[in-house]
Every structure is written in C-alpha cells, then in structure tokens.
Chain A
Amino acid sequence: MESVVFIFSLIDCCALIFLSVYFIITLSDLECDYINARSCCSKLNKWVVPELIGHAVVTVLMLISLHWFIFLLNLPVATWNIYRYIMVPSGNMGVFDPTEIHNRGQLKSHMKEAMIKLGFHLLCFFMYLYSMILALIND
C-alpha cells in the first residue's frame, strides 16, 4: 500500500517538475522578448490551478498515509500556492497579469519562485524515490 502511495507521489512530482521547468522557460522567453506578456501570462495562468491541485493532492495523501515529515515539508509550499491564488486582486487576470508582470520586478520574483519550486520538487522527487524503494523492499 505504502509503495502505491509513493509511486503515485513520484509520478505527480515528475509532473510538477515539468511544470516548473515550463514556467521557467516561458518566463525567460518573456524576459528575452521572444513572446509578449499577454500570451505568456495566458499560458501560465492556465497551469496555476493544475499545479495547485497537483501539489495539494500529494500533500493530502501524505497526511492520510501519516507521513508526517513529508507532509510538513509540503505544507508550506501548498499553502503558498493556495494563498497566491486566493489573493489575486479582482481586477487581475490571474496570478500572472500581463499589465503588471513587467512592473516592480514581478518578472524576477516569479522567476525566482519557479526556481525555488523546481529545487523543492527535485528534492521531493528523490525523497519519494527513496521511500518508494524502501517500501518496495519492505513489501
């Protein structure tokens, strides 16, 4: 049973890693002026909710399977995702707003955030991998 949990988490984590890379690539495209702010933001906004759900599912799964350490590790990131989504002002077009992304260094902070998430997911990936192998051996 435990191995199933970790296999699922591993797959989910892979998806999140890909998503982070996609965010980084798209944002850097914007930075380099390859795409315009409008298309960049609509591309990214589409993936904000899937990312949020993907992460929340793993977090909840860890809580249910009583993996406290991994749950606590994931909790802050999941909370941040939800907070960010909820706090979007009513007039904005999503977490990424084309009219503001070039102002006040927002682009940079989005980039930084995507980088940190990538690192976090990579860390999780290896943890899940290790846990999965351990679980498989124990089975």
Chain B
Amino acid sequence: MSAPAGLPPRPAAAAFSTGGPGSSPEAAAPASGAPRCQNGPMQSQMQFPSGYGSHLPIYSAPSGHYSQVPNKAAASHLDNQYRASYYPGYYSAPAQNVMTSVGSNVLNAQESQHQLYNNTPHSGGSSDRPVQGTVSSASYLHASAQQSYSAFDNHYSTSVSSSVASQGFPLNSDHYAMPVVSGAMYPNVSYPPVAAGGVYGQTLTSQSLPAVGQFKETNAFSSQNPSVPHSLQQHLPVGYNTTISTVSSAQAVQDNLSRNLTGSVAKVNNQISTGGIDSSQPVHSVSQNVPFTKPGVGTSASSAVMSSVRSPAPSLSSKPASSPSVTQSPELALQEALDSSSTTSSASPVLNNYDALEGGGYPETRSVTNSPVPSPSVLQTSKASKPFGYGYPALQPGYQNATPPTPVQPSNPGHHPGFQHYPQQYPGVNQLSSSLGGLSLQHSQQPESLRPVNLTHDRNILPVSSVPAPVPNLNSDLRKLNCSPDSFRCTLTNIPQTQALLNKAKLPLGLLLHPFRDLTQLPVITSSTIVRCRSCRTYINPFVSFIDQRRWKCNLCYRVNDVPEEFMYNPLTRSYGEPHKRPEVQNSTVEFIASSDYMLRPPQPAVYLFVLDVSHNAVEAGYLTILCQSLLENLDKLPGDSRTRIGFITFDSTVQFYNLQEGLSQPQMLIVSDIDDIFLPTPDSLLVNLHESKELIKDLLNALPNMFTNTRETHSALGPALQAAFKLMSPTGGRISVFQTQLPSLGAGLLHSREDPNQRSSTKVVQHLGPATDFYKKLALDCSGQQTAVDLFLLSSQYSDLASLACMSKYSAGCIYYYPSFHRSHNPAQAEKLQKDLKRYLTRKIGFEAVMRIRCTKGLSIHTFHGNFFVRSTDLLSLANVNPDAGFAVQMSIEESLTDTSLVCFQTALLYTSSKGERRIRVHTLCLPVVSSLSDVYAGADVQAVVCLLANMAVDRSVSSSLADARDALVNAVVDSLAAYMSTASNLQQSMLIAPNSLKLFPLYILALLKQKAFRTGTSTRLDDRVYAMCQMKSQPLVHLMKMIHPNLYRIDKLTDESTIHVNDRVVPQPPLQKLSAEKLTREGAFLMDCGSIFYLWIGKNCDNNFIKDVLGYPNYASVPQKMTQLPEVDAPSSERTRSFISWLRDSRPLSPVLQVIKDENPAKTDFFQHLIEDRTEAAFSYYEFLLNIQQQICK
C-alpha cells in the first residue's frame, strides 16, 4: 500500500484488459517467446512492469520480467499492454492499482501479506516462506502486494484445506509477529499500515499453513524453475488447470473477501475448500510472487524459491512445457482483459479459475518470476525494450474484454470495489481486528457499505453533508469513464447475477434517469457515420471492447462489429489508427449530431402555444399579469431559431383565438362559441412567426391582463380549447402550455367534483386518485402522435380534479405545475414561485419530437416505466417534448442468468430536435459490476435510488389498487429487505434491528415517504395536493425528489467560515445536516429547511438579535413580518454568509425555490413542522416507533 500511495490508479490493469480476448490466442503464440509472461499472472505482471519500467529504475529488474510479458502482448497485439506502456505514470499508479485490484479481495490481505512476506523472508529466508519474503523484500510494495495476493489465495486455499478458520487465526498470530518485523525492516516501503497487515495477517497465517505443505514441493520446483522457467510456466498452467476449478471457487471467495474485506474469511475458506483448494492456492501465490520477486534484487534466489513453492501444484503438472505456456498466454491476455481494470493479480487468479488456460497462465507467471530472478540483468534489458510495445493497447478495450467473456470477471469487479473501500477501512479494520481478534473477523473485514448499523441504537445516521451516490465497484479506469450518477443511477450498483438472488435481496432493481439534464460539459460529435452495433443498435461507448484495430465487440449483445474507416481517425488528436481514443469511446455521456437518417421529416421549428383560462376565477386570481409580464421579459430568450412560432388561445365558456398575422395594426380576437364542434377560424394566422410579428405579440401581451377584467363568465371550456389547440399544433408539433384555474365545466372533457372534504383526513380509503374520464388521456395520445406536448399549470384555489387533468401532460411528455390557493396579492409566496418557475420554464432548453430508448445487456429486461411519456413499443419512449427537469425511472428484471459476464451496461439514447432545428442524439452509458453473493448486493445498494423507485412503484400501486396497499408495500419493502439482510448475517442478534451501512437510511426515507403528502393518511390532505405530489414523484429526477421526500435542515444562525467551500470566488459555508426532528430546533437558533421547491427559514423566539438585525434586517424578533420572502442585503458577515449559502443552494437546482420566513405564530408553521418527519404526529409514527414496528414485523 505504501508504495502505491504515491502511485495513481492502476491503468496497467486496464491495459491488461485490453489484452483483447480475440487476439489473445494468437497473441499467445507469439508470446511463447516470452512464455513466462504469457499466463494470466503475466498480465498482472505486465502492468506492474510497465509501471516499474517507466517510473522506477529500481524496478527495472522486475520490468525485465515483465518485458517478457510485453513481448507477448506485442505479439498478441494487445492494446491493453500497449496502453500500459503508454501510461508510465499510470503504471506507477498501476502498481498501486494492482495492489488495489488484487486487493479488493486481496487488498488488505495483500498489504498484510506483503508485510508478512517481507517478514518471512527476512526471518527465514531459507524456508519456503522466505521465498515469499524475499520476493516482498526484493519487490516493491507492489510486488509484495501481488505476492501477498497470491499468498492470500494460498491462505484461502490453505485455510480451506485446513477448513478451520480458527487454525488460520493462530497461524495469523505467528504471521503477525512476522509482519511486525517486516514493518520494522521496511518502514520506507510505505506499507506503514503494517498494523493493518496484522489484521490481514490472519488470512496470511492461513496461508502459512498451506505454504508449509507446499514448501516442500516448492523446493523441488524451485530447482526446476530456475533451470527451466518456460517449463515451469507450462507446469504452472497444468497445475492451474488442475486447480482451476478450485481456483475459481477460491477466486470467488477472494472476491467476496475483497468486498467484505475483512468480511467473511471463514466463508471464503469454505468456498475455497469446496474448490480444488490446495493446488489452486499455490498457483495463485506463485503467480503473484513472481511479479513481485522480480523487482527485488537478491531475491532471485528467493523468487526461485517462491516459484518453486507455488509451483507445487504446477510441479505436478510441471514438466509439460513451455509451449503450453504460450497458448496460455493468449488466454491470460483474455482473462486479463476481462479482469482488466481490477488488479492484475486478482485477475490472473480469476483467469486460472476459468480455464485450464488460465491455470497455465498462473504457472507462467510463476515461471516469469522465476525467470526474472535467474537472469535479472538480461531480463531487465528485455523489459526495457518491452515497455515501448506496451503503449499500444487501448484502455477501454481491456475493459470491454473483461466484461463479455469470463465468468470469473464478476469476481474481479468485486475485488475492485473492495479495493476502493480498503483504504478507508484499513485503519479501522486494523483496530477492529486487534481488538476483536479472530472471532470478530466478519465484522472487521466487511467493507464500509456493509458495516452493520444498529438502527435503534445509532441515532445519528445522517451524514454531515448530502448523501453521496455509491460508487460502483469497478476498477478506477472504468469508474472514471462511467456515467455521472446525476444522469444515470441504478438502485443496485452491484447487479445480482440471477433473478433468484435479486428476489432474495428483496430490493427493487431499476434505473433512475435524468437524461436531458443541463450539462456544463458535453462532448458533441459531428460525424457522418454514427457507429452502432449492427444487431442491437447500441451506440459505441467506453465499455465496448476493441478486439483489434478493426473490430469492436458490443457490450450489450456481444456481437463483433467492424470499425468503420472514418472511425479510425481521431479528430481530437488528429491521429489515425486509434479508435479507442475517439471521444465516443472516452466519454460515457456524448451527444451526436444526427444525419438525415434519423429524421422522419425535416426538423420542426420551435412552436409554442399558450392556452389561457380567462374566466372570472382566473382574472380574480390575477395570474395573467404575471404570465404576460414574464413572457414579455423572456420573449427573446425563448429557445428557438428564426422559424420560431407562437400563438395564443384564451377560453372561458367560449374559445377566443388571436390573429397575429404580420401586417395587422393590432391583434384581432376571433371568438368561437360553438364549443361542441370546435373549428379554427383562420388556421394560417393563429400561429405566427415570433420575429415577424413581435410587435403584435407584445401588444397582445400588454393588453391581455386587462381585457377580461370585467368578465362575469364563470364557466370553463377547457376541453374544446384543448381540441382547438391540438388542431392548431398538429401540422408541426410543439409545446402547448395550458393555464387552468378551475374545474372544466363545459364541453368535452368536463369534470365533476369528486372530492369529499370530509374524507381528506381519512385513514381508510382515498378514492379518486385515477382519472375520471379518458378524454384527457386520449387527447394526450393524439398530441403525442403529432409531436405535441401539453404542459399544465394549475392555479386553483378549489378542487380541480388534477387526477384527470394531469393525464394531458402525463402521456404527452409534458410537465405539471400546481399552485394551490394561488392569488397574486393574497398569496405572494405562490405568486413569486409562479414567476420564478415561469422564467425557468420559458427559457430552459427544450427538445422536440424526441424518442428515448433504453438498452441493457442481454439478460436484463425492462418491464415497467415511470415518468411522463408514452411507451410506444417495448423499449421506446415517445417524448413529444423533453425538458431538462424531467426524470424517468424504469424497473428491470433479470431474465437470464448473468453468470457469464462480469459487467452489465445500460444505455439510454435520447433522439431529439433541438430548438435550433438540429437533430441530436444524447447517449448515456452506465456500467456496473455483476455479483453473485447476497452481501455484495447489499453492499452496492443505492438507498436513494431504491427509495425513489419505490416511490414510483407506490404511486402506481395507489392508483391501480389503493393507497393502503401502497403504504403496506412500502413498509414491507423495508421489512423484507432488512429481514433478508439480517438472515444473511448469522451472527447478528435477532433482538436488534440491524441494517447494512448502505441501507441505514432506508427506514428513515420510507418513513418520510409515508409522511409525504402523496401517501400520508390521517392528516388532512387535499386530493389535488396528494395527486400533485404523486405526479412529482413520477416525473422528478432523483436529486429533486430526494429533497422533496427528505428535506435538508441546517442551522444557520451560527454560520462560520470553517469547513467552507469556494464557488466562483464566493465563500459558501457548509453547515452540517440536522435531523428532521423538533429536538434539534432550539429557541435560540434559526434553521433553514431546504424542501427542494421551497425554503423555510424558521426563527426561534429567543434568536440572537444580532442575527435578526444582520440577516433579516429587523431590530428584533417581534418586528419581523409574517410574510417575508426575501433576505435584505446587509453588509455584515453573517448576512453575507447566509445569503451566499442560500444562493448556493438555489444554484444547485433549476427551479429557484421561494424562501419563506417562519415565526412561531405563523400559519405556515404547520407546513414547516410537517416536514419534521422523525417526530411523532397524531396520525403517524415517530422514527423510533417506526423502527420498533419494523423490528416487530421482522421477528414475526
């Protein structure tokens, strides 16, 4: 670890991955020249070597060993290897990476092993152990890490063989002593975490046991090895083959271990035992040792020893020969490719597991190590030359390779994650291990996300700042390339291998998408040919694998495609022959400018139609003034080009059209009173060019607010107005914005009040959540067919049957805004909100005539979609408009087992017409590892995504079944998943409610959902409010939805400059998140609650007068007005801090939230206190009660 510390992530691993499955066999043949390297281990070595060679002269010797590998790589044309050479800097990092990669499994083990090894060598150089030790000493940390890895494997195997974890522990204790020594010896090495090593040491000890058995063999082998490295390698493969089956199990075990880190060593052992333990273990160790040993000088002998040691298994098969090694090498390359990202060492073991070939690979590695040792100087020279070759391979290809073929790979990803966790865990682990001893291994070895949290005891589970999205357990290269969690999130960042495993976890599998999000940086690609898979039409992406320069393998359907000639040229670097460096392959989010192949008709212009309610009710509310003002201000900012068109329709009991044809002196109103058979009076002049008729439009907007001031018309003919709007829009498509203030009462689509006010707080049945008529749904589908979206602004003070009206937006991909009890002067907060929303609404980006397709790796299928759109065919979403604030969710099932792949990918492609009339495709690709154990599934759970997906599902359930069902389903989701988790952790006490760290917020969020307007019962909730909350759940992107479900509470009266961040030269304080509980509110404080669409600023009665004076601008508490929505600009530090904090919060979301200042006697106080979801209310549990309730249900 220490050595790697300096190093960057392990690119080398990536390089390996590139090794390219396709090329691997052939490569193997050439590799024969450098047979030693050929094997899987070689790959790992390769990585290291590259790192060594380039970075560290010292490593040169090892590099020599590696050089063999490179040669093979070259022969194989493996891009990966080349890449390794290219990225010398990386290599150094790679070494670390390797460590890590191995590590996720090995990580700890490796370090510990390293230490141990080092110790062992020193202490007993002559013994077999010494061999390892020598290796470690000779080798860098990296090497040692690898060795440790191998050792790790051995340990596992040994432990397995011994089948007694306890034995392993004692051994560990011995090792511990050893590690300590090593630590003393190699303080500089940077493995300082020797203590951690001690922890690991337990595993190590297990190794030692096996080692003993092996040692004898190894001795014999060692002699052989030195003499004939090639033969050794071959032998090794054989050994591997024999071991392979076992190895695979061992690997799996390792993976698990790595994930769990300290985790279930015992389990691992068990697994190993199931496999062919002994032979496999030795093999691994050998491979690992080899690379490391090379670096170390003097270690040559030791390395030889090591090889011999490991070789025991190989020795059996041993004599076979070098030729096999060659073949193995290709395989190894493949395997490596598979493992690619992860540490090479781990990868190589995996490889072994897979095939006999892999097994060969292991031997090879050993041989490699051996060979280096014997003739360091020669090797070094050769190595030196090799690095050049390395530069070649493409990083990504390696990944790709890794994904498709090997089953083993899954384990590798697991390792990676483990690795990541490792650094963090390390210290903790050490402490734990020391304190807990062997018995507590499982606890101490688990990764952070699996750390058990006792929910009833740990009261402070909220993180200090916002909850981060979990990072998939991929290697660093893949992780860097992966799609941003803001755009693309999966509920499980570790995808279970089978549906059975998914069912066991009791967590929903789905994606949360925010595909059209405003991005600050987006690579836009203009290319005459957009490279796509010929069979599944997937766009080329960073996770495909390049088999060679001319072919790439699709990561979704695994079809091999040709790379078109044009793709060989990279416009960014102006170089030829590097398809893997094209921007499409370097970015997981890209936008293509599409050619005419992607058009069914010429791109449409931007067309906006406003349909405005002008009945008495609407005029009384006064929204027209705000709308017209806002439109006038933003008329020039409406997205569009010179073709942009705009039109207006108003309606009360009749429908009024406005002729704005250029040339008229003033707008002409045309009234159609035949609402049963609506027609367009002058079809050509109602939608006019914005620029040509700008003056007329401005005239109309200025006149409109006053045109209907004296109206006595109370009816609303919304249906006919919408029919007219549809007729007007159908030739072009575009956007209809409907402003409605009451229940439609005339013509088609009229509605009747369905809400019984007495039932608002009913705890039993909530009816009428579904639409009352199919009129609006049909209209929406008609509109959708004509590429028209309907956006609804509902500004009503009474019940308006949003459940029915919302359908017009839901199925036409529109959006819904609801302003309950809107009044321009009586309700300034809502008026301000409308104003701000309109500003955003009118000026935000818009995409027309869009379709979105979500593709996923073969074996996964999407079965349910959530959001505003129409599902046109099984995976094609029709979006008449797409806006940057729209979120989508899909549920997935696993139709075929994913055992033959280690990575799965999801791709969304959004094809749309920009407001400038360009056809564009925005592509997001997400890559996730596949895991086979339940604990890994839990480790990768993304609690926020899970909760958002559950919210979507609960909305569906409420409408199709009943609200009570939906609530039960939510509670059951927590109960089932926690019960399933607790049953996997056998040593947990049943009397406690335990959740994995990754899910510790799960019950809290579910409780928050149950108290949300959409799902709450017992508290008076107006039907429209409830339906609106449901609509938001379906259409909001995850970040906004989470704020709505669980608001953030900050104490802001004592903001300090500590822990601030700097944004655009501003200093933004970062107060810690507070629990949503009244216990956190003190009368002396001021608190800011961020609910996403609204900020509440609650001021305590005894709040510091200085704060009130500086921040609010009033002398004391009593003088603060009831309806305050702005903070004055006062020149005081506390005011500046508060304002910069609030504006920072505002900047992070598209809709600028309104600030409401709340004093104790303010009527809005109830709104504020309703959001304190951890507290008890008359109708709902407090958080603690909810936990007890869950626990009770689990125990049932």
Q: Interface residues, chain A, CB within 8 Å of chain B? A: 30-31, 33, 36-38, 89-93, 98-99, 101-105, 107
From B777, B804, B865, B873, contact of A103 by CB (8 A): B865
Q: List the B side residues contacting A92 at CB < 8 Å.
A: 774, 777
Q: List the B side residues contacting A101 at CB < 8 Å.
A: 871
Given the interface contacts A38-B781, A103-B864, does A91 sit within 8 Å of B871 by beta carbon?
A: no
Cβ-defined contact, A99 with B770, below 8 A:
no
Q: List the A side residues contacting B865 at CB < 8 Å.
A: 102-103
Closest-CB distance, B104 to chain A (whole angstroms): 36
Cβ-defined contact, B873 with A30, below 8 A:
yes
Q: List the A side residues contacting B1099 at CB < 8 Å.
A: none
Extra 10 A-B pairs, beta carbons < 8 Å, given A91-B774, A103-B956: A33-B874, A33-B876, A37-B871, A38-B872, A89-B770, A89-B771, A89-B960, A90-B772, A102-B865, A102-B871
Q: List the B side residues contacting A107 at CB < 8 Å.
A: 874
Closest-CB distance, B66 to chain A (whole angstroms): 51
Q: List the A side residues contacting B785 at CB < 8 Å.
A: 38
Cβ-defined contact, B781 with A99, below 8 A:
yes
Cβ-defined contact, A37 with B872, below 8 A:
yes
Interface string of B802-844 (1 = CB under 8 A from A): 0110010011000000000000000000000000000000000
Q: Which of B516-561 contact A (CB under 8 A)?
A: none
From B770, B781, B874, B956, contact of A91 by CB (8 A): B770
Q: Which of B862-887 contact A (CB under 8 A)?
A: 863-865, 870-874, 876
Name 27 A/B residue pairs within 8 A (Cβ), A-sorted. A30-B873, A33-B873, A36-B873, A37-B870, A37-B871, A38-B781, A38-B785, A89-B770, A89-B960, A90-B772, A91-B770, A91-B771, A91-B803, A91-B807, A92-B774, A93-B778, A99-B781, A99-B811, A101-B871, A102-B865, A102-B874, A103-B863, A103-B864, A103-B871, A104-B864, A105-B864, A107-B874
Closest-CB distance, A86 to chain B (whole angstroms): 15
Q: List the B side residues contacting A105 at CB < 8 Å.
A: 863-864
Interface size bucket, B side?
20 to 34
Give CA–CA (A30, B874) in the complex, Å: 8
Given the interface contacts A38-B785, A103-B865, does A90 sit within 8 Å of B771 by beta carbon?
A: yes
Given the interface contacts A38-B785, A104-B863, does A91 sit within 8 Å of B772 by beta carbon?
A: yes
Closest-CB distance, B591 to chain A (whole angstroms): 26
Cβ-defined contact, B872 with A99, below 8 A:
no
Q: List the B side residues contacting A38 at CB < 8 Å.
A: 781, 785, 870, 872
Give CA–CA (A107, B876) in the complex, Å: 15
Q: Which of B772-814 contact A (CB under 8 A)?
A: 772-774, 777-778, 781, 785, 803-804, 807, 810-811
Residue of B nearest to A101 (CB): B871
Closest-CB distance, A6 to chain B (whole angstroms): 40
From A31, A36, A90, A93, contact of B770 by CB (8 A): A90
Q: Which of B148-190 contact A (CB under 8 A)?
A: none
Give CA–CA (A89, B870) in the complex, Å: 18
Q: List the A side residues contacting B803 at CB < 8 Å.
A: 91
Q: List the B side residues contacting A36 at CB < 8 Å.
A: 872-873
Cβ-defined contact, A90 with B773, below 8 A:
yes
Cβ-defined contact, A104 with B874, below 8 A:
no
Given the interface contacts A99-B870, A102-B871, does A91 sit within 8 Å of B864 by beta carbon?
A: no
Given the interface contacts A102-B865, A103-B865, does A91 sit within 8 Å of B773 by beta carbon?
A: yes
Residue of B nearest to A102 (CB): B871
- Name the residue among A31, A89, A91, A104 with the largest chain B CB count within 10 angstroms: A91
Give CA–CA (A104, B957) in the complex, Å: 11
Residue of A nearest to B872 (CB): A36
Residue of A nearest to B776 (CB): A91
Closest-CB distance, A46 to chain B (whole angstroms): 15
Give CA–CA (A114, B943) in the complex, Å: 39
Closest-CB distance, A117 to chain B (whole angstroms): 23
Q: List the B side residues contacting A93 at CB < 8 Å.
A: 774, 777-778
Cβ-defined contact, A104 with B956, below 8 A:
yes
Closest-CB distance, A108 to chain B (whole angstroms): 9
7 closest Cβ pairs, A-B complex: A91-B771, A102-B871, A33-B873, A103-B864, A93-B774, A91-B770, A36-B872
Give CA–CA (A107, B870) in the complex, Å: 15
Give CA–CA (A55, B874) in the complex, Å: 31
Closest-CB distance, B689 to chain A (whole angstroms): 32
Closest-CB distance, B768 to chain A (whole angstroms): 9
Q: List the A side residues contacting B870 at CB < 8 Å.
A: 37-38, 98-99
- Name the residue among B774, B778, B804, B960 with the largest chain A CB count within 10 angstroms: B774
- Name the residue among A33, A36, A92, A99 with the largest chain B CB count within 10 angstroms: A99
Cβ-defined contact, B774 with A90, below 8 A:
yes
Closest-CB distance, A100 to chain B (whole angstroms): 9
Cβ-defined contact, B871 with A99, below 8 A:
yes
Give CA–CA (A105, B863) in the complex, Å: 6
Q: List the A side residues contacting B960 at CB < 8 Å.
A: 89
Q: List the B side residues contacting A98 at CB < 8 Å.
A: 781, 870
Closest-CB distance, A51 to chain B (whole angstroms): 21
Give CA–CA (A98, B863) in the complex, Å: 15
Q: List the B side residues contacting A31 at CB < 8 Å.
A: 874
Q: List the B side residues contacting A103 at CB < 8 Å.
A: 863-865, 871, 956
Q: List the B side residues contacting A102 at CB < 8 Å.
A: 865, 871, 873-874
Residue of B nearest to A104 (CB): B864
Closest-CB distance, B523 to chain A (whole angstroms): 31
Closest-CB distance, B788 to chain A (whole angstroms): 15
Q: List the B side residues contacting A30 at CB < 8 Å.
A: 873
Q: Which of B983-1024 contact A (CB under 8 A)?
A: none
Residue of A nearest to B807 (CB): A91
Q: List the A side residues contacting B876 at CB < 8 Å.
A: 33
Residue of A nearest to B771 (CB): A91
Residue of A nearest to B878 (CB): A36
Closest-CB distance, B771 to chain A (whole angstroms): 3
Q: List the A side residues contacting B864 at CB < 8 Å.
A: 103-105
Given the interface contacts A103-B864, A104-B956, does A37 sit within 8 Å of B773 by beta carbon?
A: no
Give CA–CA (A33, B876) in the complex, Å: 9
- Name the residue among A33, A37, A101, A105 with the largest chain B CB count within 10 angstroms: A37
Residue of B nearest to A93 (CB): B774
Closest-CB distance, B860 to chain A (whole angstroms): 15
Closest-CB distance, A88 to chain B (whole angstroms): 10
Cβ-defined contact, B777 with A91, below 8 A:
yes
Cβ-defined contact, B873 with A37, below 8 A:
yes
Q: List the A side residues contacting B956 at CB < 8 Å.
A: 103-104
Q: List the A side residues contacting B772 at CB < 8 Å.
A: 90-91
Interface string of B505-518 (1 = CB under 8 A from A): 00000000000000
Give CA–CA (A105, B785) in the complex, Å: 24
Give CA–CA (A91, B870) in the complex, Å: 15
Residue of A nearest to B953 (CB): A104
Closest-CB distance, A47 to chain B (whole angstroms): 18
Give CA–CA (A93, B782) in the complex, Å: 13
Give CA–CA (A105, B861) in the complex, Å: 11
Give CA–CA (A99, B773) in the complex, Å: 14
Closest-CB distance, A96 to chain B (whole angstroms): 12
Give CA–CA (A30, B872) in the complex, Å: 9
Give CA–CA (A56, B871) in the complex, Å: 34
Q: Which of B752-775 contact A (CB under 8 A)?
A: 770-774
Give CA–CA (A132, B868) in the complex, Å: 55
Give CA–CA (A36, B784) in the complex, Å: 13
Closest-CB distance, B803 to chain A (whole angstroms): 8
Closest-CB distance, A109 to chain B (whole angstroms): 11
